[in-house]
Structure 1
Amino acid sequence: MTSSVYAYLEKPSMVDFPGKFSAVFFTSGCNFRCGFCHNASLMGRKRSGIDQEALELACTKFKHNWVNGAVITGGEPTLADDLPQLIELMKKYGFAVKLDTNGSNPGKLREVLPLVDYVAMDVKTGLSGYRKLVHFPDLGKISESIELIKAEAKDYEFRTTVIESLHTDALMDEVADVIAGSKRMALQAFIPRDNLPDKKFTVLPRTPSSRLQELKDRMAGCADEILLRGA
């Protein structure tokens, strides 16, 4: 029996799950087409996952190495049919579970929210910019997921990777509006790489710290806490 886990980081992470020493598991397949995606190899079609026995062996190894958290990321994990079973497996090993999502599948999100301990949803841009930036037209699903997380998640964050030339003040004002009243917002620096799926992003500059700080000040009040990452 195969799982939807396509790969995992060999070494535990201290940065992917706030407050946890975590194993990071990747599912494949995504319904967004972000030209700046750092996990581009997991975009597009779903790929065959590792078998259940190998997955459990990995969990056992992580448990013996003092891991206390598991991150399920992608790709887009809510496209995985066995997502509830994956979460239950991680729980069986005593891991707190963090789910990363793009918010495109509120139905599946609603199903698994009671099972997870932390949710990180990427708010890619203001809603008016979604079609152009990530080629996803169903803005109602994005809004529904945001409201669902604010209302029902045990702990959570929204996060936006800021590209200075694309994430204008107007678009970031839209982000602030749609997440208003939330617990935590993370503004992340865009870091160019040679292997990004759209080559035009490979030559864009890294987001300067000054722009992240400017947006933190501008968006003050939209969340209880605004974090800067990569500043």
Structure 2
Amino acid sequence: MNSRSSIYAYLEKPSMVDYPKHFAAVFFTSGCNFACGFCHNAALMGKKQAGLSRERLEKACTTFKKDWVNGVVITGGEPTLAPDLAELIHLFKDRFGFDVKLDTNGSNPELLAECLPLVDYVAMDIKTGFSGYPDLVHYSATANIQRSIDLIRAEAKDYEFRTTVIESFHTDEQMDEVAKIIEGSKRYALQAFIPRDELPGKAFRTLPRTTAARLHQLKARMAGTADEIHLRGA
């Protein structure tokens, strides 16, 4: 690993919600190849920023270890744009003994394939049906998304797919597309969209929060497409 890592920042306090059954440190990479107007990590979009030094990263890990942290979440931004991702995973696992969860948008199946044997859990966003990707996230290479889905199903030790539901965009037709994409998967989560003033897309800042009724409706509509379907923010 170079003197500078691709880790741009981390949460000072460990999380009990970002990694199932783990007390986890959350580390962020910067830069993303999607342009999601509803991204809650908007500061990490755009061009890649200078990362933390290896010394500072290891110091943070040592502190987390003393605080009984047993897992690490690598999120972003888009972590699979980080050239040292595999090295980071080895650092977290081999040096400090953490279980590692990787968050991804699925756009880089080549690096994902390299990292899947190393990580313990993968959470991949299914932004919408493939027909909606160009409009919602300004990304059209959905063959990469499909390949990543196939890789995760076949090779991940444990995983989930997840969709943040925006009621004005995620129509029944779009979610029927998603149902076909995730059919036969282990775990799928429907997440509430929460408007915030700092969202990068101004139009998204004033949209209503996803209702619990809509999430429950979609859970019933998509029943049987995954072994487990979870609701978050309902």
- TM-score normalised by the chain length of structure 1: 1.00
Aligned partners of 2:101, 2:179: CA distance in 1, in Å? 23
Residue 48 of structure 1 deviates from its aligned partner by 0.1
Q: Does 1:133 align with 2:136?
A: yes
What's the secondary structure of 2:4's corresponding residue?
Answer: coil
Aligned partners of 1:104, 1:139: CA distance in 2, in Å? 8
What's the secondary structure of 1:114's corresponding residue?
Answer: coil
Unpaired runs of 5+ residues, structure 2, are none
Counterpart code for 1:126: G
Q: Does 1:208 align with 2:207?
A: no
Alignment of 1:1-231 (within 5 A): 1-91=3-93, 92-231=95-234
Aligned partners of 1:163, 1:71: CA distance in 2, in Å? 25
Counterpart code for 1:195: E
What's the secondary structure of 2:116's corresponding residue?
Answer: helix
What's the secondary structure of 2:15's corresponding residue?
Answer: coil
Residue 172 of structure 1 deviates from its aligned partner by 0.5
CA-based RMSD? 0.4
What's the secondary structure of 2:117's corresponding residue?
Answer: helix
Q: When the two structures are aligned, how many residues end up with a matched partner?
A: 231
What's the secondary structure of 1:108's corresponding residue?
Answer: helix
Aligned partners of 2:174, 2:92: CA distance in 1, in Å? 37
Query: Can you list the C-alpha shifts for 1:143-171, whole angstroms capped at 9, x where unaligned?
Result: 10011101110000000000011000011
Aligned partners of 1:150, 1:218: CA distance in 2, in Å? 22
Query: Can you list the C-alpha shifts for 1:128-148, whole angstroms capped at 9, x where unaligned?
Result: 000010000101000100111
What's the secondary structure of 1:201's corresponding residue?
Answer: helix
Residue 184 of structure 1 deviates from its aligned partner by 0.2
Counterpart code for 2:66: H
Residue 77 of structure 1 deviates from its aligned partner by 0.1
Query: Can you list the C-alpha shifts for 1:12-60, whole angstroms capped at 9, x where unaligned?
Result: 0000000000000000000000000000000010000010000000000
Counterpart code for 2:60: A
Aligned partners of 1:229, 1:84: CA distance in 2, in Å? 30
What's the secondary structure of 1:115's corresponding residue?
Answer: coil
What's the secondary structure of 2:55's corresponding residue?
Answer: helix
Counterpart code for 2:166: I
Aligned partners of 2:113, 2:173: CA distance in 1, in Å? 30
Aligned partners of 1:40, 1:155: CA distance in 2, in Å? 28
Aligned partners of 1:60, 1:27: CA distance in 2, in Å? 19
Unpaired runs of 5+ residues, structure 1, are none
